[in-house]
Amino acid sequence: MQSLLDPAILFFALGVFACLVRSNLEMPVAISKFLSIYLLMALGLKGGFALAASGMTPSVVSSLGLAVLLAVVVPLVGFALLRRFLSGFDAAAVAATYGSVSAVTFVTATQYLESQHIAYGGYMAAAMALMESPAIILAVMLANAQRQRLAAAATPAAAPVLAMAMPGTGGGAMPAPRAGPGGPGLSIGKILHESFTDGTQLLLLGAMVIGLVTGDAGKAAMQPFSGDLFKGMLCLFLLDMGLATARNLPAVRKQSPWLLAYAVLGPLVHASLALGLAWMAQVPAGDAVLLVVLAASASYIAVPAVVRYAIPEADPSLYVSLSLGLTFPLNIVLGIPLYTQVVQRLWGV
């Protein structure tokens, strides 16, 4: 219960309440964007400062390696399950959403750990960055495979039409099909470029490099900005996220029971997988919590932005409403304290 009295969580609840009672409270778009930029910049700097202090120790390498492994396994397992009750395109999009990560959930988890006086490696911000793109790339590859299967299945039916269009038959020349923005001709290189040059990724990684290069001197200089202001800025951002979450609740109610079950149980399964891997690799307790939180989170910004372009056949209402309207608030309010308590008991801290 004490974890629910954290100011950041309470501001999130205030945002949800304000929207539900139809208050005119809202966050200007420019302010919301500024808060997002600030949090990513501060998080990247903290990660860089921590990495400068610790160096690339075996613990750091182990944590980052597990992050990459989870980023590949989670979307593949998710797709295999979702394919049973969704189309291939929708399954790929939802799997990418739940295989990627939420920066705001991660930031909230770091603040919770600090409030509980649990140490964690700031370099875990690099783990978050590494976990964002693999799910997107895998989803695009799965969607392209689905398009090729559909094209192969349609070929026999198209044969008579093609025969009529052959020279000398009187038929006109049939133009070759063109791949749309999400078609089979979509370049994985372009998706990689979109992923790694996305503003959020670039800012996070760039700030991390700056923190790594400047070290202790940079940390002391930036403390009033990236340290003292951080909690207040997070509260404002979670207030805005509470408003956005409540606005997505009507779309959540329209989803099938199977999808609602996945949005609740899927993150718990992903968290359990991360917990087991972290325990076997003897990852420090704080890092283990953050790995579990990242595995349990779902992207509602980066993945939808890319997937809408890369997999236009998928229904955006599925992956956006589920991740933002259901999984995000469950992780923020209940998930983070739960995962922390489980790790504390298993690690004996």
Reply yes or no on whether the pLDDT at 111 is more than 70: yes
pTM (2 d.p.): 0.78
The pLDDT mean for the chain works out to 82
Reply yes or no on whether the pLDDT at 201 is more than 80: no
What pLDDT, on the 0 to 100 scale, is given for residue 164?
41
CB within 8 A of 261, min separation 6: which ones? none
At residue 315 the predicted structure's pLDDT band, cuts being 50, 70 and 90, is confident
Yes or no: say if 106 and 274 are a contact pair by the CB < 8 Å rule.
no
- Higher per-residue pLDDT: 180 or 276: 276
Q: Is residue 331 part of a domain?
A: yes
Closest among 63, 58, 36, 35 to 47, alpha carbons compared: 63
Alpha carbons 325 and 300: distance in angstroms, whole number: 10
Q: Is residue 206 part of a domain?
A: yes
Reply yes or no on whether the pLDDT at 249 is more than 70: yes
Q: Is residue 34 part of a domain?
A: yes
- Which tokens sit at 48? 């860089």
Across the range 55-65, mean pLDDT stands at 85
Q: Is residue 180 part of a domain?
A: no
Q: Is residue 325 part of a domain?
A: yes
Domain range enclosing 267: 2-20+28-148+186-347
Q: Is residue 46 part of a domain?
A: yes
Reply yes or no on whether the pLDDT at 107 is more than 60: yes
At residue 190 the predicted structure's pLDDT band, cuts being 50, 70 and 90, is low
Closest among 332, 337, 331 to 270, alpha carbons compared: 331
Q: Is residue 178 part of a domain?
A: no
* CATH number of the domain where residue 245 is located: 1.20.1530.20
At residue 165 the predicted structure's pLDDT band, cuts being 50, 70 and 90, is very low
**Residue 21 CB: number of other CB atoms within 10 A?**
9
Reply yes or no on whether the pLDDT at 300 is more than 90: no
Q: Is residue 181 part of a domain?
A: no
DSSP state of 335: I
Alpha carbons 84 and 259: distance in angstroms, whole number: 11
When divided into structural domains, the chain yields a total of 1
